[in-house]
Amino acid sequence: MRCFLFFVGLVCALSIGWHVPVHAAERPNVLCIAIDDLNDWVGCLNGHAQIQTPNIDRLAQRGTLFTNAHCQAPLCNASRTSLLTGLRPSTTGVYGLAPWFRTSPKFKDRVSLYQAFKRAGYKTFSTGKIWHGGYPPRKERAKECDKWGPNASVGARPPKKLVPPTPCGNHPLVDWGTFPHKDEEKGDWAVASWATEQLESKPDQPFFMAVGFFLPHVPCYATQHWFDLYPQDQLVLPPVQPGDRDDTPEFSWYLHWKLPEPRLSWLKRNHEWKHLVQSYLACTSFVDSQVGRVIDALQASGRADNTIIVLWSDHGWHLGEKGVSGKNTLWERSSHVPLIFAGPGIATQVPCDEPAELLDIYPTLVELCHLAPVDGLEGHSLVPQLRNSKTTRPWPAITTHNQDNHTIRTKRWRYIRYANGSQELYDRENDPNEWRNLADDPRYKDVITELAKWLPKVNVPPMPGSKHRILVRDGDQWIWEEKPIVPAEKME
């Protein structure tokens, strides 16, 4: 009789959607692979005609590749905080490279992605760059994750910068090229080595492991072997159009007003455009090789069949498009990122062109691994698309950079609304390079009206302690990194 009543209760619980706990031992492992500043220049996304990324491409064949995935913010700390908390930047106010989000009393006890798995009985590991910079503070690390490996680092460096002095202080990280050193001396090699060691040790409980690679973030240093894959005399440069910014709002410059990353004009004057593109491609191929080392170690451990792999980049990176290098924009080159899921129950060898966000990773993993629900997640599970890539999604992808600056990305359109009310609209089907701003064309008024409905309703000011890449308004004056913007001083 008790068995019968238990069976009836279980059926009732399932029928009304109650969460039925799953023992940790029955759950799949998770391997998260993050790559810093990687745009869509990977083979499976056809972002660059010459790129060689065989290991990422191999992973895409093993699972589902989201070809229309976008970051929540085109900046490291803001993007990673959003992904790992499940909250939009416009909800937390984390827009810049600082602060650590738990300095706000409102988010001090927010359950991070790590903590969701740790509380579910997983052994949690982290190495390299997952959170930004030195976050979390060392004294708080044990609360986030069980075991920490090497931090992200450049590794071997040349005795002096390889490129001419760059604008805005000749920042030491803004450099690229090759010099005599070995792959084994690079920071990403150490990160991959630590991850492979942990996988070889075969943890005795389900694990959540996050492995974060630094490259192709500047400085873009790689060994000569990787540069040889991309001879400069055969190099394909990204498409740019003279006067591309002529039909974009003046305010678009305010999102990257004064930055260490040089403009295209500087790259051309100093004959560094090809050199930067070559270095970025070389570094991408190198980091792809480290992705391969980690995936091969998982395979050798015998646990690949019960491990979900998710690979993502925190945001894209310009290499001359729209006249800039770096991130910090609301265009495709900054927002579009690789996103791949592979593992048990996930469709293989299929692309999905539905809009997806990095914000969706958290709820997707919660569902795939049968974790207890986490309150307030602002993304949406991708499980329906992982089962059938043709399943439509009603939501667009939304990227935010500083307060009240957003872009809405659907399958066809990119709509940008800036904090001063200026706009951009691009028809991606007919203008994949986003060269023609349609926002002022009355024929597209209804399109803009529909897309504007998706703009976030919550737009909190920067969290106290915010700094680096922060844009705020003081009356009629716009302030960039605590200095008034003077339009005549625009860097072009």
Q: How is the beta sheet containing 406-409 ordered, strand by strand?
A: 397-400, 406-409, 413-417, 423-427
Please identify which residue in the block is written with the tokens 């202080």. 169
Q: At what angle do helices 187-200 and 273-300 cross, to 10 degrees?
A: 10
* pTM of the model as a whole: 0.94
Task: Name, in order, each residue with C-beta under 8 angstroms of 308's C-beta and a sequence gap of 6 or more.
Answer: 28, 29, 30, 31, 341, 342, 343, 344, 346, 365, 368, 369
Percent of the chain with pLDDT over 90: 93
Contact between 240 and 317 under an 8 Å Cβ cutoff? The reply is no
Q: What confidence score (pLDDT) does residue 180 get? A: 98
- Range with the largest mean pLDDT of 2-11, 21-30, 200-209: 200-209
Answer left, alpha or beta for residue 123, where phi above 0 means left and psi between -120 and 50 means alpha. beta
Q: What confidence score (pLDDT) does residue 23 get? A: 55
Look up the CATH superfamily of 23-396. Alkaline Phosphatase, subunit A (3.40.720.10)
pLDDT at 313 over 70: yes
Q: What confidence score (pLDDT) does residue 2 get? A: 39
pLDDT at 14 over 50: no
Q: Identify which of 250, 128, 264 has the alpha carbon closest to the alpha carbon of residue 189.
A: 128
pLDDT interval class at 6 (50, 70, 90): very low
* Mean per-residue pLDDT, 328-337: 98
Distance CA 430, CA 176 (A): 34
Using one digit for the tens of pLDDT, what is the confidence trace for 69-117?
999 999 999 999 999 999 999 999 999 999 999 999 999 999 999 999 9
- Domain residue spans of the chain: 23-396
Enter the tokens of residue 473: 């308004």
Enter the tokens of residue 193: 């080595």
Contact between 54 and 232 under an 8 Å Cβ cutoff? The reply is no
Using one digit for the tens of pLDDT, what is the confidence trace for 386-395?
999 999 999 9
* Mean per-residue pLDDT, 196-200: 96
Distance CA 55, CA 72 (A): 26
Q: What confidence score (pLDDT) does residue 204 get? A: 81
* Mean per-residue pLDDT, 157-180: 97
Poorest-pLDDT segment among 15-24, 127-136, 243-252, 464-473: 15-24
Q: What element of type H or E holds 69?
A: strand 69-70
CA angle 49, 53, 57 (to 5 degrees): 100
DSSP 3-state of 235: coil
DSSP state of 126: E
Q: Please give the positions annotated as active site.
A: 76, 132
CA angle 301, 305, 310 (to 5 degrees): 95
pLDDT interval class at 24 (50, 70, 90): low
